[in-house]
Amino acid sequence: MTVELPTTGQIEAGTQVAPLARLRRYLRPLLGLLLPLALAAGWELTVWLGFSSGRLVPPPSKVFATIGELARSGELSRHIWVTLWRVASGFALGVIAGTIMGAISGYWGLARRLLDPTVQALRAIPSIAWVPLFILWLGIFETSKVALIAVGVFFPVYLGVMGAILSVDRKIVEVGRIFRLSGPAMIRRILLPAVLPAYVLALRVGLGLGWMFVVAAEFMGASEGLGYLLIDGQQLGKPAQIVAAIVIFAILGKATDWLLEIATAPLLRWQDAFSRQAGGA
């Protein structure tokens, strides 16, 4: 029996491929920046060439100059932290309530028949319709704002958990019953792994709605937050400030979604999904 040893050329090729693969893995997320950067450069060029005055839709240079002014005054960091705190608090409350009620409705048929019609009816109510009611019940301060964000997060999490439990393969559950798994063991070893992919997706959808609802929440008499910057820019006729607030909303929303994706990635490492193969291409 002969053992073939790698040649020097194969070893050198392998050592060259590994750094290139790592470089591609690090650079791949930057591809997502190409489209917004191209659009920003195109609009900047349009204004610079005189095809548009840039008064109502200011060019990126003016928007980032406005962001720089707000950052130097310390005003921007204060507004960002206030908005982040509201989104985090509302997201936590909405996730807890949505997970518990979704799990109950998905696992227990009687609870689903009792709760789900009411939840579906409430889901159809526009976010702005909750504002006067929450102000009346909870006042105009932080509690009403956090409650409104929690409402926005609750519905996608509730639907994601309930739908994921209802879509668990019956054959897998029957295997658990054959092995005489107890109720907690059935949840931990069968239902929970089957539900996790849809649950993570529901969390990301809920987080996105939390950022949408925080704007409506900060319209409720807020004196701090990125939503306040939008209102202040509208009242004072500052389109650059409005666009700057929108850009910051987009950056923070994407950053938090990316952090949530990273935090939940270990929970889905067992998946042998097509997306992993496609992502490595």
How many Å separate Cα 53 from the centre of its chain? Answer: 35
Asked if the structure places residue 241 within a domain, the reply is no
Q: How far apart are CA 230 and CA 167, in angstroms?
A: 42
Residue 281's pLDDT is: 47
Q: How far apart are CA 45 and CA 24, in angstroms?
A: 31
Asked if the structure places residue 259 within a domain, the reply is yes
pTM comes to 0.80
DSSP 77-98: HHHHHHHHHHHHHHHHHHHHHH
138-189: pLDDT as tens digits:
887 888 889 999 999 999 999 999 988 888 777 777 777 777 777 677 777 7
Asked if the structure places residue 262 within a domain, the reply is yes
Asked if the structure places residue 237 within a domain, the reply is no
Asked if the structure places residue 1 within a domain, the reply is no
Read off the tokens for 251.
């950056």
Asked if the structure places residue 17 within a domain, the reply is no
Domain that holds residue 128: 83-225+251-279
**Count of domains observed in the chain:** 1
Residue 11's pLDDT is: 47
- 267: confidence class by pLDDT, cuts 50, 70, 90: confident
Asked if the structure places residue 60 within a domain, the reply is no
CATH number where 104 lies? 1.10.3720.10
Read off the tokens for 252.
């923070």
